[in-house]
Amino acid sequence: MSPDSAQFSLPHVVILGAGFGGMNAAFKLRHAQCRVTIIDRSNHHLFQPLLYQVATAGLSPGEIAAPIRHILRGKNIEVLMAEVQGVDTEKKRVLLEANRTVEYDYLIVATGSRHSYFGHNEWEEFAPGLKSIADATKIRKQLLCAYEEAELETDANRRTELLTVVIIGAGPTGVEMAGSIAELAKKGLHREFQNFNPERTRVILIEAGSRVLAPFPESLSESAAKELQTLGVEIRVNSRVQSVTNNEVSLDGEHIRAATIIWAAGVQASRAAKWLNVDTNDKAGRVPVDKFLNIAGHPEIFVIGDTALALDKDGKPLPGVAPVAIQQGKYVGKRITGMLQGKAQDKAFHYFDKGLLAAIGRTYAVAHVGKLKISGWPAWLVWVFVHIAYLIGFRNRVLVLTEWAWAYTTYQRGVRLIVEQKE
Amino acid sequence: MSPDSAQFSLPHVVILGAGFGGMNAAFKLRHAQCRVTIIDRSNHHLFQPLLYQVATAGLSPGEIAAPIRHILRGKNIEVLMAEVQGVDTEKKRVLLEANRTVEYDYLIVATGSRHSYFGHNEWEEFAPGLKSIADATKIRKQLLCAYEEAELETDANRRTELLTVVIIGAGPTGVEMAGSIAELAKKGLHREFQNFNPERTRVILIEAGSRVLAPFPESLSESAAKELQTLGVEIRVNSRVQSVTNNEVSLDGEHIRAATIIWAAGVQASRAAKWLNVDTNDKAGRVPVDKFLNIAGHPEIFVIGDTALALDKDGKPLPGVAPVAIQQGKYVGKRITGMLQGKAQDKAFHYFDKGLLAAIGRTYAVAHVGKLKISGWPAWLVWVFVHIAYLIGFRNRVLVLTEWAWAYTTYQRGVRLIVEQKE
């Protein structure tokens, strides 16, 4: 759609999705001999590892998200905000709403994942998940409104219900949310309520597996669980959710009443398999890709990040984490650059595992890097360093650091806004 | 509703509304011999003079709003988030939703104003006004989505429509919005679009009266108009809006197509007159008050700020601006403190006029203080100083200044988020 018609002779690379994968691919392609178009349903790139902090009123949306076209300004990359409807792999074009189409020579599909309710989509209404800024502000609103209602409430049982938060799923997101909410209740709301003590908040973390932070080594799971308990979080492992209704979670033989229920239990790939007409046996709906991240029979189509089912050298699927998406994005960007130059491209994608990190509250983290297992505040320093380093294209990093230092030490909660007024 | 029963013997002061009036009254009462409850429909106090900057993606909501209970924490003031349904002046109690009631000995009504469409409420859907954070983010979304659509659009007429913004009403809010949007288009979006130049944005400011900034002296109106024109704003004075429909504003003999239409033309007081069962002949629905800011026959009920119709010593109504609300809030807080001490209270409210200020873009303002009339960047420095000085109870002022300096010089637009995804 570029008005510069001279450019039309150049090959066109279309990127679907401006998450970590798509953005890194775009960066690598900015000097290549091609036109680049990146399409996303929202106007911003999101630093997803910190999204739980928006949901728990620790950071405001503007601190972890920035307009895609602002990050890519002046890079000669076309940015379109549009919802993808499908892909015509024969005619090589992407279908958008209103019968708009975008033709491509190379296609990079990096449309991520959504939460999955394992066939119980009716639970979503009562237990929202966390993938977008809109999800995060919805959870934040629910959490904050429960406290507001509790201040008005005179019935003791209902107040207990209002002060109970259930988080389903104890992977990194669930653990980080639980820690953050427990700290908000213990410290962030200090002296703000007259009719109850916010420290009475119950945070219950439910996990179907046998331990929290399953992808981590067992010793770190134990450290994390201990720290969560210190913050007052109740952990229920080996607990399978039977049903979720309005303000109630049912486990085997137990019903927990809670005004805030948050889903952090599972994810499902975007609908890319359907768009590309690819058969997938994967439970999470990911698209199988070869060692070059192509789908079968289409060397011009790449699938990366959470949407892709890529295998490591042992034949195990790569995890749906940011470093995988980042490295795959860079790889594909470089690969297409080479293809455009007519160079032989036989280098397969190789994932370099940088390790795993999870923060629990404001001073504690667990880190698993190579053979190193660390926990406590040294791991937390690593966590801070890594997160700052990867805040690509966002606001001035020094400024962000200052703001965070301020927010962390003072618990200033300018971010604790309930935007929509009560109906 | 305080659990501390010993406190129940103290007189109860109930404040409705946590704007400038209500908050200042609360501050003055924090050491008085009484219980204080402040009730607001939202959970935050809003620094309304900067709200237009949220609507035009210059600041994010968290920078100009803070939770009421955070500002008042530790002050022994009960904060309730609830919608007022009415007041029973006989039984001295406020009626909330769900049949909740709050009894009072003294009542301060400071519930502000909403925009008024002069009997054309059907225009609101197409031309939103600006009073709350939700209003501002709605306008911001509309404005930003128009640019996103323009990048996708191939039809030239529709693109022109998408790049046209109409602002109805050239009082301080309308003028500040127009300047801010013109600057966003000229500088803030630089190099971000491939398929059109955002500098092509038309900003049209419509005013029924004969000049912009009517409350200011004529010479300053002229300076402001000139500066707006330099920024590219088209000004239509003596233009009365005949109708507003989807994407169209009709004036006498002219129809302007515009994707973004903003209402800044008039305000109407909250429904307090109805709650208090007071007759008011005022067109804006304000509640008439005496020199002590009481309603007739009720020395225990005060009405202040935009909701009140208070007269100055010449018998002219005081304007609906922040300084009036602030001074009235302080006055009433002091007056009640004195009444509680049993002292004679014969000092009437006197408004000290500190002048008028309006900013046009990032380096220009007009100021009218006493006999002084200044325009240009000296007035802009006054504007910055006054706004920082009055940011009560918000985040650290030094930090806010740093952030602003950063945002102003770089046009970093982390705040330019469209939160809801397209349906």
Residues A123-126: contacts with CB under 8 Å, at least 24 apart: A123/A243, A123/A244, A123/A263, A124/A263, A125/A246, A126/A244, A126/A245, A126/A246, A126/A247, A126/A261
- Cα A30 from Cα A75, distance rounded (Å): 6
pLDDT digits (tens, 9 = 90+) for A177-207: 999 999 999 888 888 999 999 999 999 999 9
Whether residues A293 and A203 fall in one domain: no
Least confidently predicted of A284-293, B32-41, B51-60, B105-114: B51-60
Q: Determine, for residues A395 and B402 on separate chains, whether the beta-carbon distance falls below 8 Å.
A: no
- Cα B280 from Cα B188, distance rounded (Å): 46
pLDDT digits (tens, 9 = 90+) for B11-44: 999 999 999 999 999 999 999 999 999 999 999 9
B412 in A contact zone (CB under 8 Å) = yes
Residue B410 lies in a domain: no
Q: How far is B60 from chain A (nearest CA, A)?
A: 7
Residue A402 lies in a domain: no
- Look at residue B417 and tell me whether its pLDDT is greater than 70: no
In order of A328, A340, B341, the CA distances from B233 in angstroms are: 47, 46, 56
In terms of DSSP bridges, do strands B35-40 and B77-81 run parallel, antiparallel, or are they unpaired?
Answer: parallel
Kindly identify which residue of chain A lies nearest to residue B66, measuring between CA atoms.
Answer: A414
Q: Among A340, A357, A379, where does a domain finish?
A: A340
Q: Determine, for residues B66 and A413 on separate chains, whether the beta-carbon distance falls below 8 Å.
A: yes
- Cα B140 from Cα B130, distance rounded (Å): 11
Whether residues B107 and B141 fall in one domain: no
- Cα A219 from Cα B375, distance rounded (Å): 67
Query: Which helix (DSSP H) or strand (DSSP E) does residue B287 occupy?
Result: strand B287-288
Whether residues B126 and B181 fall in one domain: yes
Q: Determine, for residues A62 and B60 on separate chains, whether the beta-carbon distance falls below 8 Å.
A: yes
pLDDT at A423: 32
Total of domains in chain B: 2
pLDDT top residue among B74 and B90: B90
Q: Among B265, B292, B316, where does a domain finish?
A: B265
- Look at residue B384 and tell me whether its pLDDT is greater than 70: yes
Mutate to test the interface with A, among B5, B38, B43, B51 (most CBs of A within 10 A): B43
Query: pLDDT class for A416, splitting at 50, 70, 90?
Result: low
pLDDT at A219: 97
Whether residues B260 and B153 fall in one domain: yes
pLDDT digits (tens, 9 = 90+) for B218-243: 999 999 999 999 999 999 999 999 99
Looking at residue B294, the DSSP 8-state letter turns out to be E
- Cα A69 from Cα A80, distance rounded (Å): 9
pLDDT at A128: 95
CATH number for B260: 3.50.50.100
The Cα angle at residue A141 between residues A138 and A144, in degrees rounded to 5: 150
The gap between the terminal CA atoms of chain A, to the nearest Å, is 42
3-state secondary structure chain A: CCCCHHHHHCCEEEEECCCHHHHHHHHHCCCCCCEEEEEECCCEEECHHHHHHHHCCCCCHHHHEEEHHHHCCCCCEEEEECCEEEEECCCCEEEECCCCEEECCEEEECCCEEECCCCCHHHCCCCCECCCHHHHHHHHHHHHHHHHHHHHCCCHHHHHHHCEEEEECCCHHHHHHHHHHHHHHHHHCCCCCCCCCHHHCEEEEECCCCCCCCCCCHHHHHHHHHHHHHCCEEEECCCCCCEEECCEEEECCEEEECCEEEECCCEEECCHHHHCCCCCCCCCCCEECCCCCEECCEEEEEECHHHEECECCCCCECCCCHHHHHHHHHHHHHHHHHHHCCCCCCCCCCCCCCCEEEEECCCEEEEEECCEEEEEHHHHHHHHHHHHHCCCCCCCHHHHHHHHHHHHHHCCCCCCCCCCCCC
Residue A146 lies in a domain: yes
Which chain B residues are closer than 8 Å to A193 by Cβ? 69
- Look at residue A419 and tell me whether its pLDDT is greater than 90: no
Mutate to test the interface with B, among A100, A154, A419, A422 (most CBs of B within 10 A): A419
Respond yes or no: is residue B149 known to be catalytic.
Answer: no
Please report the residues numbered 142 through 201 in chain B whose beta carbons come closer than 8 angstroms to any beta carbon of chain A: 144-145, 148, 151-152, 154, 190-195
Q: What is the percent of chain B where pLDDT is above 70?
A: 90
Query: pLDDT class for A306, splitting at 50, 70, 90?
Result: very high
pLDDT at B395: 52
CB-based contacts of B144, cutoff 8 Å, min separation 6? A43, B57, B416, B418
Q: Is the pTM higher than 0.80?
A: yes
A353 in B contact zone (CB under 8 Å) = no
Q: How far is A245 from chain B (nearest CA, A)?
A: 23
Helix axes B172-183, B218-230, angle to 10 degrees: 20
pLDDT at B366: 97
* Residue in B133, B190, B412 closest to A395 by CB: B412
pLDDT top residue among A382 and A7: A382
Average pLDDT over chain B reads 90
Backbone dihedral region of A216: left (phi > 0), alpha (psi from -120 to 50 degrees) or beta?
beta
* Catalytic-role residue among B63, B78, B161, B176: B176
Whether residues A261 and A271 fall in one domain: no
- Cα A186 from Cα A202, distance rounded (Å): 11
Whether residues B205 and B257 fall in one domain: yes
Residue A214 lies in a domain: yes
* Residue in A41, A67, A80 closest to B416 by CB: A67
Q: What's the token pair of residue B377? A: 């960047």
- Cα B231 from Cα B183, distance rounded (Å): 7
pLDDT top residue among A96 and B62: A96
pLDDT at B217: 96
Looking at residue B252, the DSSP 8-state letter turns out to be T
What is the maximum alpha-carbon separation in chain B?
74
Whether residues B254 and B293 fall in one domain: no
Residue A111 lies in a domain: yes
pLDDT at B157: 96
pLDDT at A421: 42
Q: Among B323, B340, B357, where does a domain finish?
A: B340
Q: What is the ipTM of this complex?
A: 0.87
Q: Report the SS3 class of residue B346.
A: coil
Q: How far is A288 from chain B (nearest CA, A)?
A: 28
- Look at residue A263 and tell me whether its pLDDT is greater than 70: yes
* Residue entry with tokens 């007429």: B157
Contact B26, B110 (CB under 8 A): no
Average pLDDT over chain A reads 90
* Size of the A and B interface in Cβ pairs below 8 Å: 177
Mutate to test the interface with B, among A54, A75, A152, A423 (most CBs of B within 10 A): A152
Q: Determine, for residues B420 and A148 on separate chains, whether the beta-carbon distance falls below 8 Å.
A: no
Q: Determine, for residues B414 and A65 on separate chains, whether the beta-carbon distance falls below 8 Å.
A: yes
Whether residues B281 and B177 fall in one domain: no
Whether residues A111 and A125 fall in one domain: no
Residue A368 lies in a domain: no
Residue B230 lies in a domain: yes
A232 lies in which domain range? 121-265
Which chain A residues are closer than 8 Å to B413 by Cβ? 66-67, 70
Whether residues B257 and B286 fall in one domain: no
Residue B243 lies in a domain: yes
Least confidently predicted of A137-141, A355-359, B305-309, B408-412: B408-412
Q: How far is A193 from chain B (nearest CA, A)?
A: 7
What is the four-CA torsion angle of A213, A219, A225, A228, rounded to 10 degrees? -100
CATH number for B323: 3.50.50.60
Whether residues B244 and B196 fall in one domain: yes
pLDDT at A75: 83
Whether residues A133 and A244 fall in one domain: yes
